[in-house]
Amino acid sequence: MTARRVVATGTFDILHPGHLFYLEESKKLGDELFVIVARDANVKHKPHPIIPEDQRLSLVAALKPVDHAMLGDQTDMFLPIERIRPDIITIGFNQMFDEKTLSRQLEERGLTPRIVRIGKFPGDYLCSSRLVVQRIITKRGHDHHHVSENEREP
């Protein structure tokens, strides 16, 4: 039997336990997890990422459930999926794909993976890059002149 390939996708702008849950649940569905990280230029449906694409990629690649991580294609989002030929594609609970449309688009390319929507992370963590951004602005926005490049932290 060949290894079952799973593809997960996302921006992964500021990593949080919701991302981790999505990737762990995705990995459980197969043997090898491939993660396609959205290109900076292709994130148009929400604010531009804070963290540059290479950096988002390197952190995703360092997570235990992830076997292979790569940046998406800037002009054809289906190209990496054609190369991987996954058995399963997972969608995050809040990703705005319509499963039927996606399925049809993939079929036009000769791909018939099972599409699985992963549920919401059950914890009460700060599970949204956007909410992290909001918290930063609320907590630190008033005194950002105190932020200095000389006071780095590991």
Interaction site with a copy of itself (CB under 8 A): 10-11, 13-20, 22, 46-48, 50-52, 54-55, 58-59, 62-65, 92-95, 125-141, 144, 146-149, 151-154
Q: Which is nearer to a copy of itself, 79 or 131 (CB)?
A: 131
Give the separation between CA 129 and CA 22, rounded to whole angstroms: 14
Those residues with Cβ within 8 angstroms of residue 106's Cβ, 6 or more apart along the chain or in another chain:
78, 81, 89, 112, 113
Which residue's entry shows tokens 């890059």? 129
Q: Which is nearer to a copy of itself, 79 or 132 (CB)?
A: 132
Minimum CB separation of residue 31 from a copy of itself in Å reads 18
Give the separation between CA 98 and CA 136, rounded to whole angstroms: 32
Q: Which is nearer to a copy of itself, 37 or 84 (CB)?
A: 37
HSE at residue 44, side-chain half, CA atoms within 13 A, is 3
Q: Which is nearer to a copy of itself, 53 or 87 (CB)?
A: 53
Q: In the 8-state DSSP scheme, what is residue 34?
A: E
Minimum CB separation of residue 92 from a copy of itself in Å reads 3
Minimum CB separation of residue 1 from a copy of itself in Å reads 26
Minimum CB separation of residue 98 from a copy of itself in Å reads 16
Minimum CB separation of residue 108 from a copy of itself in Å reads 25
Give the separation between CA 126 and CA 44, rounded to whole angstroms: 23
26 φ, ψ (degrees, to nearest 5):
-65, -45
Q: Which is nearer to a copy of itself, 66 or 81 (CB)?
A: 66
Give the separation between CA 128 and CA 18, rounded to whole angstroms: 7
